[in-house]
Every structure is written in structure tokens, then in C-alpha cells.
Amino acid sequence: MSRNYDLSDPTDLDVLKSDFEMYDADEWQQMIDYTLQDGNKRLLSYDERGILMQARKKALYNSHPSAKQMVWALKIADKIEEHKKEAKG
């Protein structure tokens, strides 16, 4: 799912927060675990994996990272979901 948010628009920020809250801490952890599997280690950079870890931590404590970090985390989540679909063929 392609996501484009206008970070200066309050409505888009609410949608962004809602999209971020769709994933709970366990789902973020599943994504992290998926990227640490042998065949998927090169899927993400160190920084991208770090954003996933931050997203998991924020979801665990029911808070939100910055808007830019949420956008980045959701784009990474999309990338992982796309990779999973391609792997299933």
C-alpha cells in the first residue's frame, strides 16, 4: 500500500497515527524477526531495522514516534509485506 502524508495537515497526521496504530508491538517484532532470518538479512539497512525497533518500543508503550519516523516505519512495513508476497510467489 503506497502511503503519502502531508505532515503539515492535521487530518493527514491523524490518518498517519491511525495507520501506525494498526500494528501492535508483536507485529513490529515479527517484522524485525523476518528481516533477521538468513535469507532476508540484506532486505533492510541497519537504520531501517532500528526504526522498526523504535516503532515496536513506541507501540509497546502506547506512544508515537515523530511523524517522520512513523512515515518511515510504515514504508518499511510496506516493503516487508511486499517482500513476503513476492516470496510466496
Q: Is residue 42 part of a domain?
A: yes
Q: Is residue 5 part of a domain?
A: no
Q: Is residue 67 part of a domain?
A: yes
Domain membership of residue 75 as a residue range: 10-88
Residue 81 pLDDT exceeds 70: yes
Residue 1 vs residues 19, 21, 57, 62, 82: alpha-carbon distances, Å: 11, 16, 23, 24, 9
CA-to-CA distance for 50 and 48, rounded, in angstroms?
Answer: 5
Q: Is residue 4 part of a domain?
A: no
Q: Is residue 2 part of a domain?
A: no
Q: What pLDDT, on a 0 to 100 scale, did the predictor assign at position 2?
A: 58
pLDDT tens for 28-76 read 999 999 999 999 999 999 999 999 999 999 999 989 899 999 999 999 9
Q: Is residue 33 part of a domain?
A: yes
Q: Is residue 34 part of a domain?
A: yes
CA-to-CA distance for 69 and 61, rounded, in angstroms?
Answer: 16
**Number of separate domains in the chain:** 1
